[in-house]
């Protein structure tokens, strides 16, 4: 089943279940995510782990949720 991105949450704001407001690296994560979105990049390196994280823009263009728990998934509804 294809799910559409939520209209009530901008692509710049991850769902709290994926990135809590109290996460210690939240500001650095959001800054890297915003820079990647602005540059049209698919993702960015996580500031703590160095792992590649896909942006909400990339995930929204893909058109469906993969179900893997992506940090910036625009399809999260809970």
| pLDDT tens per residue across span 11-63 | 888 989 999 999 999 999 999 999 999 999 999 999 999 999 999 999 999 88
Quick one: pLDDT band at residue 1, thresholds 50, 70, 90? very low
Bridge partners for 43 per DSSP: 54
Domain ranges, residue 38? 1-78
- Grouping H, G, I as helix, E, B as strand and the rest as coil, residue 67 is coil
C-alpha dihedral over 66, 36, 17, 9, to 10 degrees?
A: -90
pTM beyond 0.95, yes or no: no
Q: For the chain, what is the domain count?
A: 1
Structure tokens at 76: 């999260």
The answer to whether the CB of 2 falls within 8 A of the CB of 63 is yes
């Amino acid at each position: 089943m294809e799910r559409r991105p939520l209209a009530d949450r901008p692509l710049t704001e991850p769902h709290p279940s994926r990135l809590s407001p109290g996460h210690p690296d939240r500001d650095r994560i959001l800054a890297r995510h915003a820079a990647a979105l602005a540059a049209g990049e698919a993702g960015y390196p996580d500031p703590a782990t160095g792992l590649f994280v896909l942006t909400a823009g990339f995930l929204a263009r893909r058109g469906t949720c993969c179900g893997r728990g992506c940090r910036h998934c625009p399809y999260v509804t809970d």
